[in-house]
């Protein structure tokens, strides 16, 4: 068994799993899932099936990041969207969605439960998503491949 395992370089810093020290996180398995997702483009292909009517200049969490966060939550056993309030500050989940982590950055904040709730639970009676104040992301049946 190797002493350490180096993952694909992310934008922030190298991610190295070292088996010689005390555990830092219980969710380190997410790094393997992320590697598989990047290679197979699972969440990015799914995100292409959504239409985002939000102002691009005001978006902190693009649709592909929202989809990845929610799917990673489910895979790691966090099926309740309320868990997102704690997970939004987790560095392993930040690395998984490609957020930059370094010593100069104060804190990493991923999408919270309210943002992801808008993605999951949208009312069917909103006539125009582009004019809706809160429900501005919808799936696009024409984008399924």
pLDDT tens per residue across span 55-95: 889 888 999 999 999 999 999 999 988 899 889 888 889 88
What tens-digit pLDDT sequence spans the chain (145 residues)? 556 555 565 555 666 666 666 656 668 789 889 989 999 999 999 999 888 888 889 888 999 999 999 999 999 999 988 899 889 888 889 889 988 766 565 567 899 998 888 777 765 655 565 566 666 677 776 655 5
Residues of the domain holding 108 = 25-121
Residue 117 domain-assigned (yes or no) = yes
Contact 82, 113 (CB under 8 A): yes
Enter the DSSP assignment of 130: G
- Residues 97, 66: Cα–Cα separation, whole Å: 9
| Radius of gyration (C-alpha) of the chain in whole angstroms | 17
Residue 93 domain-assigned (yes or no) = yes
Number of domains in the chain: 1
Residue 115 domain-assigned (yes or no) = yes
Residue 141 domain-assigned (yes or no) = no
Q: Which of 79, 75, 81, 77 is nearest to 119 (CA)?
A: 81
Residue 145 domain-assigned (yes or no) = no
Residue 59 domain-assigned (yes or no) = yes
Residue 61 domain-assigned (yes or no) = yes
Residue 127 phi/psi, 5° resolution? -75, -40
């Amino acid at each position: 068994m190797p002493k350490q395992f180096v993952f694909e370089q992310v934008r922030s810093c190298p991610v190295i799993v070292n088996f010689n020290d005390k555990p830092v996180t219980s969710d380190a398995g997410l790094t393997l899932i992320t590697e598989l997702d990047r290679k197979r483009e699972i969440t990015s292909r799914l995100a292409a099936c959504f239409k985002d009517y939000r102002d691009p200049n005001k978006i902190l969490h693009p649709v592909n990041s929202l989809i990845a966060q929610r799917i990673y939550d489910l895979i790691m056993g966090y099926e309740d969207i309320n868990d997102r309030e704690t997970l939004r500050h987790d560095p392993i989940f930040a690395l998984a969605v490609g957020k930059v982590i370094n010593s100069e950055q104060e804190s990493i904040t991923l999408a919270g439960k309210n943002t992801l709730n808008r993605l999951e639970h949208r009312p069917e009676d909103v006539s125009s998503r582009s004019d809706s104040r809160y429900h501005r992301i919808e799936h696009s049946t024409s984008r399924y491949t």
